[in-house]
Chains A and B, each alone.
Chain A
Amino acid sequence: NAGVTQTPKFQVLKTGQSMTLQCAQDMNHEYMSWYRQDPGMGLRLIHYSVGAGITDQGEVPNGYNVSRSTTEDFPLRLLSAAPSQTSVYFCASSYGYRSTEAFFGQGTRLTVV
């Protein structure tokens, strides 16, 4: 099994550009989420999904959109990139809700210039 796969690994954007970070998992997990990791800030939840067709906002959702049309995929869209969105982005998935392990992708390092 591939686990959680994120693409791309690295990306440089210009301010105002849009892009989609891809996340796919092959473990039939219901729960998927996106985090951003910034120095001194830890991991902050952007958006999450408890199943196909259901998404909700996390702690820092502004400037990001998500959709969950299938169980496997959970793309994160940056609508109009800003330098403040320079970060490392992690996608995670887990089978259910309680006491289950979250599996993380390898991360996408995004730089907005």
Chain B
Amino acid sequence: AQRVTQPEKLLSVFKGAPVELKCNYSYSGSPELFWYVQYSRQRLQLLLRHISRESIKGFTADLNKGETSFHLKKPFAQEEDSAMYYCALLGGSNYKLTFGKGTLLTVNP
């Protein structure tokens, strides 16, 4: 069975501070991991995927297979980063996309 754990329901930081949203996963195979973001009153959208090794809006995430983690990081948070963030794992025989419970990030001015 595949599982995604986001230990923090809420995370509050000040503008300009570093931010790290934690994600741990459980999966027997080779995982495909993603971060999705949902801004207020907008639909869920892809932020980044581990296979692309890209930085989007200043965010990066590194897959650590030893620690089974895929934490999302940004060195300097901005107010517009305030949103709900979901870590997701794509896997299984039918490649189901499993989400964590989400972390609500609030960036205070």
Given A45-B98, A48-B94, 4 more A-B residue pairs with CB atoms under 8 Å apart are: A42-B86, A48-B96, A97-B94, A105-B43
A42 with B97: in contact, given A90-B44, A98-B32, A101-B46 (CB under 8 Å)?
no
A35 at interface (Cβ–Cβ under 8 A)? yes
A1 at interface (Cβ–Cβ under 8 A)? no
Q: What are 5 A-B residue pairs whose CB atoms fall within 8 Å in the complex?
A: A43-B86, A43-B102, A48-B94, A98-B90, A101-B46
Q: Bound complex: CA of A35 vs CA of B100, how far in Å?
A: 13
- Residues on A lying within 8 angstroms of B by beta carbon are 31, 33, 35, 40-45, 48, 50, 56, 58-59, 90, 92, 94, 97-99, 101-102, 104-107
Q: Bound complex: CA of A50 vs CA of B6, how far in Å?
A: 27
The answer, among B43, B96, B101, for a CB contact under 8 Å with A45, is: B96
Q: Bound complex: CA of A35 vs CA of B45, how far in Å?
A: 14
Docked-complex contact B97 and A33, CB < 8 angstroms: yes
B70 at interface (Cβ–Cβ under 8 A)? no
Residue of B nearest to A3 (CB): B43
B49 at interface (Cβ–Cβ under 8 A)? yes
The answer, among A44, A97, A102, A105, for a CB contact under 8 Å with B46, is: A102
Q: Bound complex: CA of A97 vs CA of B20, how far in Å?
A: 28
B99 at interface (Cβ–Cβ under 8 A)? yes
A42 with B46: in contact, given A98-B32, A99-B51, A99-B90 (CB under 8 Å)?
no
B94 CB contacts on chain A under 8 angstroms: 48, 50, 56, 97
Distance (whole angstroms) from the CB of B38 to the closest CB of chain A = 9
Residue of B nearest to A104 (CB): B44
Distance (whole angstroms) from the CB of B33 to the closest CB of chain A = 10
Residue of A nearest to B32 (CB): A99
Distance (whole angstroms) from the CB of A42 to the closest CB of chain B = 4
Q: Bound complex: CA of A40 vs CA of B96, how far in Å?
A: 21
A41 CB contacts on chain B under 8 angstroms: 101
Distance (whole angstroms) from the CB of B80 to the closest CB of chain A = 20
Q: Bound complex: CA of A33 vs CA of B45, how far in Å?
A: 15
A102 CB contacts on chain B under 8 angstroms: 36, 46, 97
Distance (whole angstroms) from the CB of B39 to the closest CB of chain A = 12
